[in-house]
Amino acid sequence: MQIRYELVNLLKEFDVIGGDNIQLRLHENISPFGEEAILAENKYGIRVQRVTTRSRGALRDEDVLLGVAFSSGLERVVIPFFHYGMPVEYELIRSITTVAAAERKTIGIVATDALISGGRVQLNDGRATAVPRAKIVAELEKQFNVVDVVPNEAFELWTDETKTKRRFDVLMLVQPSKMNPLGLSFVLDAIKTGQPTVIFEDPAAFGSANYQWPLEMVQDQENLNYFPLLQGTSQNRVTGQVSADLRPLWNFLGIQTVAQERNKREIPAIVWQKNSYYPQSLFLNKHLEYVVVRKATASGTNLEVTLDPQHQVTGSLNELAFPYPGAIAPLPNQRWDFIPLVRTAKAGFLWFEDFESSRLMEAEIRRMRTGEQGPQYLAAEISGGATDGSGEGARVIYVADVEVLGDYFVDLRNRPAKSSVDYRFENVSFVLNIFDYLSGEDRYTNIRNKRPQQFTLRLVEDEREREWVQVNEKMNAARKNVENTLAQVRQEFEEATQPLVRNIEDLQKRRTQGENVAAQLEQLIGTYQQRQQEENQRLQQELTVQNNRLQDEERLIRREAENAIQKIQRGYKVMAVLLPPIPPLILGLIVFTRRRLREREGVSKARLRS
């Protein structure tokens, strides 16, 4: 295993560099079920894991023990298992410096319905379900002291009366809209003192932060199942109290969320953006609300900045993914510094209320999206004022998404999925960079974001990309046909019921004038409602038929593209076999001919063979 080779070599190298300061105990060739393996599990939590390996071209499952425990005095950091995608050098350096430090910095996770630290919640049907702790919290615990904060009352922010050291180096607030108002007021009081805080607030939070991305790189599936936990209720599921109003928080920070007013209610916007980075991903081409932001490259004289290249949080990142994010903007009278960290390219909106009413039907979602509105801010730093508690101040990073914390991104980093799409989302580094920045830590940023250089056959990649671009064009045409068919069905219903609607409107006018037409009006309305119900059933049946047809076309188009790509690859493989021998054969022929000619020089014609 390559990861084991790299791990052992780095451990031995650190042992040599550290001298007497580092003592290395390397246990190799341990039986997965021996006494040493049992001791490692009981003492350090290092367990045997089953992994799939390739040996001599054949795949097989093996029980592997590959963990490391670091200790210094009473401090201990354990990495239970090194998956093949984990950054080994970063994990080792962070662990060594963490246990060697005199004291860890502290992160306070504020309790909200996001249940980022795990817990149990009661659903609407009365069933209780357990929500596991988010994997990103386990990542934070490798470096920080992580504690839960339940803001039932005002909580102490300082370790002593002199206010020289904060109790929490960073506060983590996930989905504050699902807190109770009193708890949010206590957290806001803390933020006003300049308490470093990171806020994750999402207009469309699907489940908790443990939400998994069911993309094709996970199980090669295109269907998406949603498990709403945070939405759909005005009651806080943890406390049972009414959820908080975020306007006081936004007003203090000097920001606003992009929203639309309907019936005296603000409907938040979900941002969508065209997928121009992964043309081979059918999922991202359909679900444009999965926004991918990539570091911009110069195009002519224009440079579109999507990730702030100068900021510690985003300067070394190349690519982030935001599933169904919201958008924020500074208020005109902003009192603090507003520093955009992440913004989209040209993007549009899907209003959350429309999204809920779409029943997740692709055709309905496509119809409800607005046009492109320009770049949108997805994350920003808001800072300024006092930070020592002497007056009001702000030191906040606000991210308009919760699923950016999802377990999927941790799994993607640790175990890059083997699929037709090579996703390179750096969400884990993004989140860890935020906490490092707010806590005043800058030692790990550069090493955390080191990426292995992978070189591919450029010609083959270009051919693959052209094929997938053609696939997207065909799929867009097929979806457009479905939309046109559904629009035609609706138009036929409106034309067929137009005389009935006119009669109803006429009877309503006559009733307002005092005529006794109530019985006729009620009969016509009943007829219209019955026909509308029949039409809805017909539309639903037609939608099912069209979706099935679209899925069949998708499978056919994708199969044709895969066959075309395989044909291209086979062609290059054949050339790789046939072309390399040609130059040495030609060179050999030239050398052979030249030698034969030189052998004939100076020899009389009589001695030459005929």
Residue 554 has pLDDT above 80, yes or no: no
Work out the mean pLDDT of the chain and round it to a whole number.
80
What is the mean pLDDT of the segment spanning 334-353? 90
For the cut 50, the answer to whether the pLDDT of residue 220 exceeds it is no
Residue 609's pLDDT is 62
In this prediction, residue 376 carries a pLDDT of 93
Average pLDDT over residues 386-406: 86
Contact present, 208 and 408 (Cβ < 8 Å): no
User: Residues 583-593: pLDDT tens digits?
Assistant: 999 999 999 88
Q: Which residue has the higher pLDDT, 259 or 422?
A: 259
Classify 465 as helix, strand or coil. Answer: helix
- Report which secondary-structure segment, H or E, holds 270: strand 265-272
pTM: 0.74
Q: What are phi and psi of 507, to 5 degrees?
A: -65, -35
For residues 266 and 301, which has the higher predicted lDDT (pLDDT)? 266
Distance CA 546, CA 552 (A): 10
Beta bridge partners of 52: 61
What confidence score (pLDDT) does residue 242 get? Answer: 54
Question: What integer pLDDT is reported at residue 360 of this predicted model?
Answer: 62
* Three-class DSSP category at 61: strand
pLDDT above 90 coverage of the chain, percent: 21
CA dist list (Å): 291 to 161, 214, 343, 345: 46, 15, 10, 10
DSSP 243: P
- Under 8 Å CB-to-CB from 3, ≥6 apart: which residues? 66, 82, 83, 84, 86, 88
Give me the residues paired with residue 383 across strands: 337, 395
User: Is the pLDDT score of 219 beyond 70?
Assistant: no
Mean pLDDT of 299-303: 41
Average confidence (pLDDT) over 237-258: 77
For residue range 176-190, list pLDDT tens digits in order.
Answer: 988 888 999 999 999
pLDDT over 60 at 369, yes or no: yes
Task: Report pLDDT digits (tens) over 61-95.
Answer: 788 888 899 998 888 889 988 888 888 888 899 99
**pLDDT, tens only, 498-535:** 888 888 888 888 888 888 878 888 888 888 888 878 87
Any idea how long the chain is? 610
In sequence order, the β-bridge partners of residue 181 are none
Q: Is pLDDT at 43 greater than 80 in this prediction?
A: yes
Higher pLDDT, 80 or 493: 80
The reported pLDDT for the residue numbered 187 is: 93
- 105-159 pLDDT, tens digit per residue, is 999 999 988 888 888 776 666 777 777 888 999 999 999 999 999 988 888 888 8
pLDDT at 229 over 60: no
* SS3 (DSSP) at 474: helix
Q: What is the DSSP code string of 65-113? A: ---EEEEETTEEEEE----TTS-HHHHHHHHHHHHHSSS--EEEEE--T
pLDDT(545) > 50: yes
Give 136-163 as a DSSP string. Answer: HHHHHHTTSEEEEE--SS----BSSTT-
HEC string of 350-406 equals EEHHHHHHCCCCHHHHHHHCCCCCECCEEEEEEEEECCCCCCCEEEEEEECCCHHHC
Residue 190: Cβ-neighbour burial (10 angstroms; 0-12, 13-18, 19+): buried
